[in-house]
Structure 1
Amino acid sequence: MQKCYVCSNQFKWKEIVFSIWGSYKPIECSHCGKRHTINFVSKFIVSLLIIVPAVVFGLLIAPAQGLSKPLTFGLIVLMAFVISLFLPLFVKYEYKQR
């Protein structure tokens, strides 16, 4: 997982997940106080890992299985939630001096 570029303090999984859920809110290092923002490539990866499975499931798999629209929507939300729990392993944050 990601570490602070200044002091090498490792960010907590919870901090990264809440940062992603909070529209890529910057993470402040709990040790040195420096702010880290998610980089562009990581934003793209997050979007891709959430949207592609949701679209494939919603447009291809669910209709083929005859699932109702409310059930399909619920499963897509659940799938997005589960995927988001693994995103801290993939995203990268960067420190930019002000």
Structure 2
Amino acid sequence: MKLPKCNVCNHQFNWKEIIKSEWHYSSKELKCSKCNTKYPVRNSFLLFLIIFIGAYIFSKLLFNNYFSSFSSDSEINLLIELTIFILSAILISLITPYFVKLGTPIKE
């Protein structure tokens, strides 16, 4: 698992650049800081699905196996399950830059 590189100048994109381009709503492009080549980020919806489904499955497994016996109150159980879901979604989104696919370069 490696972060993507620029096809023009071979610049290694860093984690922060990729996260910004993934979660930026107006433009789904990754711009090389050395040669100003833009790359469309191709699989942002797929990444969203991976994060959502992965977080849901992980939170259900974790909750059912470890946290469900702490309280008999359904509101507290729901709060614990939602907290686990949000934390697992954040953790999964932190590794998504390693799975980004860049489109065809657009030279500026």
Q: 1:59-98 maps to which residues of 2 (within 5 A)?
A: 60-61=60-61, 62=63, 65-66=67-68, 68-94=77-103, 95-96=105-106
**Equivalent residue number for residue 30 of structure 1:** 33
Structure 1 unmatched runs, 5+:
none
- Name the aligned partner's letter for residue 3 of structure 1: K
Counterparts of 2:91 and 2:58, CA distance in 1: 14
Identity of aligned residues (%): 32
RMSD: 2.4
How high is the TM-score relative to the length of structure 2? 0.70
Cα distance in 2 for residues equivalent to 1:33 and 1:97:
7
**Aligned equivalents of 1:48 and 1:92: distance in 2?**
15
Aligned residues: 95
Offset of residue 45 of structure 1 = 3.8
One-letter identity of the residue aligned with 1:47: F
Q: In structure 2, what is the Cα distance between the partners aligned to 1:13 and 1:44? A: 19
Q: Secondary structure at the match of 1:70?
A: helix
Q: CA deviation at 1:28?
A: 1.1
Match of 2:12 among 10, 33, 37: 10
Alignment partner, residue 48 of structure 1: 49
Q: Which runs of 5+ in 2 are unaligned?
A: 69-75
Q: Distance in 2 between matches of 1:85 and 1:21?
A: 12
